[in-house]
Amino acid sequence: MAHLSTINADGSPQVTVVWIGLDGDDVVSGHMGWYQKLRNIERDPRVVLSFDAPRVPGAFLNEYAVLRAHATVRPSDHTWDLLNRLAKVYVSAEAEFPAPKGPGYVVRYSVERIGGIGPWAPAAR
């Protein structure tokens, strides 16, 4: 699960939890409705995604990643298919996405910078 941070019209932050997956070099997420996060992205495509690596017992600070990205929203007839594929990752191999099949929106995140704590992060200065 990833935390998606967008910017509201008044400049305040808006954070929501989303399922993410990969499509080539881009990170993607699917959305069945036109939610606040999508309206925010349409107005200002600068976003941040953050997520934890699997928890290591006894670790003082668990590894995590922070992706600064440029997001684009596109209507798609394949949104349910993406969410169904992600349900098999996030829920179980047999899971089916519970919403009715239909069009929605796919957000594509072009990653500009990767940070956090882990082998993917640049060395501390």
- C-alpha triplet 58, 61, 64: angle, nearest 5°: 120
pLDDT at res. 125 = 59
Q: Please list the pLDDT of the chain residue by residue as tens digits (125 residues).
A: 899 999 999 999 999 999 999 999 899 999 999 999 999 999 999 999 999 988 888 877 889 999 999 999 999 999 999 999 999 999 999 999 999 999 999 999 999 999 998 888 777 65
**Collapsed DSSP state (helix, strand, coil) of residue 41:** helix
pLDDT at res. 25 = 87
For the chain, state the CA radius of gyration. Answer: 15
Q: Output the CA torsion 25→102→91→35 (10° steps).
A: 70
pTM above 0.75, yes or no: yes
Distance set, CA 18 to CA 37, 50, 88 (Å): 10, 10, 15
